[in-house]
Structure 1
Amino acid sequence: MRSPLTYLPAPVRGVLACLALAANTVLCTLPLFAFALVKLALPFAFVRRRVDPVLHAIAGAWVAGNSLWMRLLHRTRWEVQGLPAPRSGWFLVNCNHQSWADIFVLQHLLHGRLPMLKFFLKQQLLYVPVIGLAWWALDFPFMKRHGKEALRRNPAKRADDHEATVRACRKFALVPTSVMNFAEGTRFTPAKHAQTASPYRHLLKPKAGAMALTLGVMGDKFDALIDVTIAYSPGIPGFWDFACGRVKRVAVHIEELPVPTEFIGLDYAGNSQGRKRFGRWLNALWEKKDARMGVLLGTAPAETMPQEFAGEPAEV
């Protein structure tokens, strides 16, 4: 049954959504910081194993609170295929990236089904008020994105992200975790699509580094690769549009794939042949994802995808 709040004007729903998000964030971050201080004061593995599940439970409550206001305020039609059964373990989650809404969509769908999602974040996001500290407390890895010119002047900076990934993966290995990767590295826009001369119709070129490094460091820990494709109608929403509930339809396809064993332990920086093989594998995955985007958006017939795509969407 639809909530009566969904009949409010869109700007009113947007304001209510932002207030609900802010209140939910403050209520959850206060106890989160308290337990994070314990972990900071006692930086031992046995302490982390006990404190991290508590931190994850608090973060899970934040995700559940966001799902609640989304259900109360939004009229969005969800069409989801391939929802995984609830389980624990370690998973590598890969998804296309179009909007800040992607994070809310992924958390809404996978909460309670997979362990907590942890994202690779740009270093600058550490300084976002409140939420930046929460990401730090939850051991989200912060990556320094060096431009080509900076790398040309100082090639040693290439090691920064490798070291950050290694440190993060060592922490991930202690507690069941879903490592989230947006292989495009940035949100899709028509301008970026044209600027990068992407060969894909609906996607930017994937960047192999973070995923390859993660598989190289802790690939033997992952139970599966969870590949997610998200499409929005009538168009890609900004945060305000999403908060206002102007997204009419979210179509999501989730596919569980085996972890490619040939890339476990791969020295991505030092093995040129392995780097090329990984690039070919990722490009093949992206070609399939691009075709799937066409089906989700209704611009390509479903017959163009394998039979596993067919079926009734799940309730979420």
Structure 2
Amino acid sequence: MSSLFSTVRGCAAFLLLLLNSVFWCSLLFICASVKLLLPFTAVRRLIDPVLNAIATSWIACNTGWMRLTQRTRWDVQGVDTLQRDGWYMVLCNHQSWVDILVLQRALNRRVPMLKFFLKQQLLYVPMMGLAWWALDFPFLRRHGRAALAKNPALAQQDRDATRRACEKFALVPTSVMSFPEGTRFTAAKHQGQRSPYRHLLKPKAGALAMSLDAMGTKFRSVIDATIVYPQGTPTFWEFLCGRTQCVVVRVRELPIPQELFGGDYAGDSAHRARFHQWLEALWTEKDAQISALLGPAAATRRSAGASDAALATPAADR
């Protein structure tokens, strides 16, 4: 009976998510068509805040259906002093598609609209791909090492896409969101990387460096967000079904070191080393924070069950 009730809850949550998305996306597409037909900076300055307001309302309604259908306990700290009138770089660890809903709920209407770096393939996701395009989410192509070795010019494509996106972000207050690990955490990936962190994959600095290079001192600061699921990382369906007992979010605002501005990440090895040193230090602190939030017993369970959890996670949610 409990399993049946959980499934009904999941179906209800998914239906509310779908209806909410269809409603707000319809408004979004109408406004986006104006921006498409009149691609002028003055028009963008007028339309972009409207598009962001629609997306913010969309996220707020997502929080509403979560409250209606979920029994999850939310433990969120560190968001009270954030402001909506500036530009932020937001960094977070990545474990599940649920992370995006968690970040949106924790930060919505506390900071400017979150804009994510997305894989190029996600542009073709029905309805959502067009919505992300309308909101100027940057789509990046992921090239493997073999392809880059064969054609180094491919690396310039992502740099150009990031720079174009950041030029648009500079027009209105924006929170540029990045998962520095580049992919969701699994035990197999963690082992394959030989990651020096207990709960994290190795961070990648390229997209962050390109954002700083393109936007410069426009950024107010870094928002370092840490998400922890004490009972284990949920799949998207498990979250919809209300099986996530608790979500812990810790947020802190950090200054961006002045030496990271104005450098050439691709061409200056010394600047690149400084960037990696800063990010790795931040990741070391985050890893220790996750261990403290999980506690000794929970951390042991996570370590022991990570492989089983990774195998049990559907391929679509990895």
TM-score normalised by L of structure 1: 0.91
Code of the aligned partner of 2:37: A
Q: CA offset at residue 84 of structure 1?
A: 3.5
| Aligned partner letter, 1:9 | F
Q: Give the secondary-structure state (helix, strand or coil) at the position aligned to 1:299.
A: helix
For residue 83 of structure 1, report the CA deviation from its aligned partner.
1.2
1:62-102 Cα shifts (integer Å, max 9, x gaps) = 10110001111111111122113343111111000001111
| Cα 1:181–1:84 shift into 2, 3 Å | farther
1:87-106 alignment runs, 5 A limit: 87-106=84-103
Partner Cα distance (1:228, 1:300) in 2: 23
Match of 2:13 among 11, 17, 24: 17
Contact 1:294–1:300 (8 Å) recurs in 2: no
Residues 1:64 and 2:36 are matched in the alignment: no
Residue 153 in 1 paired to residue 170 in 2?
no
Q: Could you tell me which amino acid in structure 2 is paired with residue 179 of structure 1? A: V
**Residue 276 (structure 1) aligns with:** 273
The 2-side partners of 1:23 and 1:299 are apart by 42
Structure holding more helix per residue: 2
C-alpha distance in 1 between matches for 2:36 and 2:265: 32
Q: Within 5 A, what are the aligned runs for 1:206-221?
A: 206-221=203-218
Stretches of structure 1 that go unaligned for 5 or more consecutive residues are 1-5, 302-316
**2: CA distance, partners of 1:48 / 1:169:** 14
1:49 aligns with 2:72: no
Structure 1 residues 1-316: aligned runs within 5 Å: 9-85=5-81, 86-299=83-296
Distance 1:266 1:10 in 2: 52
Contact 1:218 1:264 in 2 (8 A): no
Q: Secondary structure at the match of 1:150?
A: helix
Tell me how large the CA RMSD over aligned residues is.
1.6
Distance 2:157 2:61 in 1: 35
> Are the aligned partners of 1:117 and 1:180 in contact in 2 as well (CA < 8 Å)?
yes
TM-score (norm 2): 0.91
Using a 3 Å threshold, how does the CA distance of structure 1 residues 102 and 269 change in structure 2: closer, same or farther?
same
Inter-partner Cα distance in structure 1 for 2:4 and 2:176: 37
- Matched letter for residue 225 of structure 1: V
SS of 1:104's equivalent in the other structure is helix
Matched position secondary structure for 1:250: strand
The 4+ residue runs of structure 1 with deviation greater than 2 A are 84-87
Deviation at 1:299, TM superposition (A): 2.7
Do the aligned residues in 2 keep the contact of 1:252 with 1:296 (CA within 8 Å)? no
CA distance in 2, matches of 1:156, 1:41: 32
Segments of 5+ residues of structure 2 without an aligned counterpart are 299-318
How many residue pairs align between the two structures?
A: 296
Per the TM alignment, residue 297 of structure 1 is displaced from its structure 2 partner at its CA by: 1.2
Question: Shift of residue 197 of structure 1?
Answer: 1.0
Residue 263 of structure 1 and its aligned partner are, at CA, apart by: 1.0
* 8 Å contact kept, 2:84–2:173: no
**2:115, 2:176 within 8 Å by CA — same for their partners in 1?**
yes
Classify the secondary structure of the residue corresponding to 2:50. helix
Q: Which moved more, 1:131-140 or 1:76-85?
A: 76-85
Aligned to 1:309: none
The one-letter code of the counterpart of 1:244 is: C
